[in-house]
Structure 1
């Protein structure tokens, strides 16, 4: 397949009349698959109403078919076309966080989307992305778009177009290059069908932010348990993993360096994922800096790019620092532990 690659300016005030956006929308209307930027990561979009189109997402990604997809919309009014029995507190969330990195899980409207989108569940996950290209594309296509991250299944999610090209060039119809994404981690997924809303996946909107506007919010135990059927994207299988095995280290830089020394003595080349504050603490074969520990959003925005960069380095094993698990740190640690297959070492 010949994949078209278009560079589009995010700041173009006439995006809805941009010929490349119009051509991409036509591809979507013809049940083809197009990758596009959002504020979180690049998405792989297809017509959510067509099982034929959605099947192409699973094929391109090599994604298990029991993993549900998020539907992206451009107007809050579109929500009632695909969801029913919407609780009143959802209006508060929409006003506060949409467009933005918050996905709402609601009861689906029968026949509104293809069965492959929801993986047989009675619920549907919906969000409105906060990115001018994404919004323009959805509006011009006039379709709800099913759009998981635009990467091969299991690999780190793409935060720049070159990641998408590496994974999917020749496998999909088109890629819209809109530069780097902002948040760098996928959206928070919130189950709104329970009496108390439940976080199914931590992400760009934190538990603390949610509770500030709607009160109590809980966290699903499936985040910490293996082997359960996924109720949300990103809840099953090893995700975000670099090629070399990754271990998350809970301990001091001195303890992590001792682990590095032990592996180097065994003849292995060792990589370390560090922060700006601690990078000089390590004598590894490759040390990559992932933001500032004092600024966890900077870690979130760079995490996937750093994990992918390790694939370009000749390392046999990677050790990563751990991070505080509050605020956006909860999402960072969720992704790191997924990438590591829950391989951890404590001091």
Structure 2
């Protein structure tokens, strides 16, 4: 360990572990913790230096905003302007994997760096019991992008966090595997028409039903307005490809959807269940990436996923993971 590296502690999901994690956050430290979606890399969202530390630890571009995690709607209303529509959505989907982009209150104590310099704030209430206990113990807003090096596969368990960020962060609060496995759906409510800024753990169909109106799609010409919008993101070391023809090498590795048959690799769901596929996505990507490295494989082949329900979010992650690398 060099002088610049941290001794990254692994904290248990106990009252003692929660107190230790809360104390580290209060001191400006960086603590990874589980949510129902993926593990987040948390810091005190009011502490400019701590927020800058999150960007540095991940190697994340500073124009890419962070999601603010709070314990309840009253806390959220202290930092963002809520319309009646936003309050209705909060009541329907919080706690849960929905992030709302709202106008930032002028008196908000959230670090401007956490918003990527934008006049908005991305905010949510996580449903994971351990995340909620940590937020309650800390008593303040926690800025937390996914706890992985920027652009790489998101972490769905504490081992994934340690593999990517050990030595760069202070601790990881180990709460076991994440149930949803996909990051939150992000909905931009700063315009008259709600905009789907990022598909995620809540299907678009459920949001449109609650709103009584279709969602608009985020336009690439508007730039980065929310996390997870970089063209290359969630990428493993091996390249991901959708096959262009039915002919492929016999020893190819597959990330499948449905039965594997005689193919080598892993399937997101033998039965074609989208919720199971979402929960398995990042864990299977991590496992296949390791297997590819061990076997000298440079690519992984992908099955198509239906573009409905959670399939929309799964395909979004796979498209970004298979895009040309921003660091190439």
User: TM (normalized to structure 2)?
Assistant: 0.92
CA contact (8 A) 2:10 2:172 kept: yes
1:306, 1:66 → 2: CA distance? 30
* Map of 2:279 onto structure 1: 301
Summarize deviations over 1:233-255 as a string: whole Å, max 9, x none: 000141111111111247xxxx4
The one of 80, 92, 110 aligned to 2:88 = 92
Contact 1:229 1:236 (8 Å CA) reproduced: no
2:68–2:141 CA contact under 8 A, matched in 1: yes
Match of 1:279 among 235, 247, 260: 260
TM-score w.r.t. structure 1 length?
Answer: 0.87
Q: Structure 1: state its 5+ residue gaps.
A: 10-17
Among candidates 237, 240, 245, match of residue 243 of structure 1: 237
* Aligned counterpart, 2:69: 72
Partner of 1:13: none
Q: Which residue of 1 aligns with 2:99?
A: 103
Q: 2:316 aligns with which of 300, 321, 334?
A: 334
For 1:1-347, what aligned pairs fall within 5 Å after superposition?
Answer: 1-8=6-13, 18-84=15-81, 86-110=82-106, 111-222=108-219, 225=220, 229-249=223-243, 255-256=245-246, 258=247, 260-261=248-249, 270-275=252-257, 277-282=258-263, 286-292=264-270, 294-313=272-291, 314=295, 315-341=297-323
1:105, distance to aligned residue in structure 2 (A): 0.4
**Contact 1:155/1:241 (<8 A) preserved:** yes
**C-alpha contact (below 8 Å) 1:93/1:213 kept by paired residues:** yes
Separation in 2, partners of 1:209, 1:46: 31
For the residue of structure 1 that corresponds to 2:153, the secondary structure is: coil
Contact 1:293 1:299 in 2 (8 A): no
Deviation at 1:281? 4.8
Q: Is the 8 A contact 1:247 1:320 kept in 2?
A: yes
Please list every run of 5 or more consecutive structure 2 residues that lacks an aligned counterpart in the other structure: 1-5
* CA distance, structure 2, for counterparts of residue 178 and residue 51 of structure 1: 27
Measure the CA separation in 2 of the matches of 1:244 and 1:301.
21
**Partner SS state of residue 280, structure 1:** coil
Q: SS in structure 1 opposite 2:140?
A: coil
Q: How far does residue 310 in structure 1 lie from its aligned partner after superposition? A: 1.8
Distance in 1 separating the partners of 2:123 and 2:156: 21
Superposition CA RMSD, Å = 1.7
Contact 2:80/2:104, CA 8 A, preserved across alignment: yes
